[in-house]
Amino acid sequence: MENRWCNLAVAFLMPLVFVSQGHSAMLDRAHIVEYQVACPDLFDARRIRFDAIAQGWTPFAPSSLMVTAGAIIYGAPVTRAGVEPSAASDGRYETMATWQMRQVPGLQKWLNCGYGAANELTLSKIIPQDVFVCTVITSKDLQAKVTGVVARCLRELKTPPPQPFKRATQPPRH
């Protein structure tokens, strides 16, 4: 399934990305690889720490927070520099949003995962800088509750991916 998605993305997204970015030549598909990262499904309540609590108050997190959203951002998560996706679709069992990413000097690309009803807590992870397109897929159950968030991206490697090691064969002895 993963390879099929990658092949479909390369076949259909690549021309769109290159035309929109003004490229006239197609990339060598051998240099395009998939990069995938999933948001953790939940943030354990035992990991929540409270500092500087007003005197006489006792903090308590009653339950773990489930993942509710995912998005691509530029820059450190504290900046909250969200970028609108270039395309989005909302289906019954999954929502997909696609970002065509550009290099922004000095800013890293991140997958930002939201937890809680209004993303009260976020976990973020840096994604490779050679990623040029990402689709964040949010899966939902029958009640439209989010069950998972995964980012499937394409990377342009500057050098070809390493080839699998092939063991030298001995010529047949006569």
Give tens-digit pLDDT for 26-71.
Answer: 455 558 899 999 999 998 888 888 888 899 998 888 888 999 999 9
Q: How confident is the model at residue 4 (pLDDT cuts 50, 70, 90)?
A: very low
Neighbouring CB atoms inside 10 A of 67's CB total 22
Residues 73-89: what's their mean pLDDT?
86
Instruction: Tell me the pLDDT tens digit for each residue of 89-128.
Output: 999 999 999 999 877 767 889 999 999 888 888 999 999 9
Report the share of the chain in percent with pLDDT over 70.
Answer: 72
Q: What CA–CA distance (Å, rounded) separates 85 from 138?
A: 14
Q: What is the mean pLDDT of residues 149-167?
A: 79
Task: Give 53-85 as a DSSP string.
Answer: PPTT------SPEEEEEEEEEES-GGG--B---
**pTM of the predicted structure, to 2 decimals:** 0.71
DSSP helix/strand/coil, 41: coil
CB neighbour burial string for 127-147, b if at least 16 within 10 angstroms, e if fewer: beebbbbbbbbbebeeeeebe
Output 90 or 162, whichever has higher pLDDT: 90
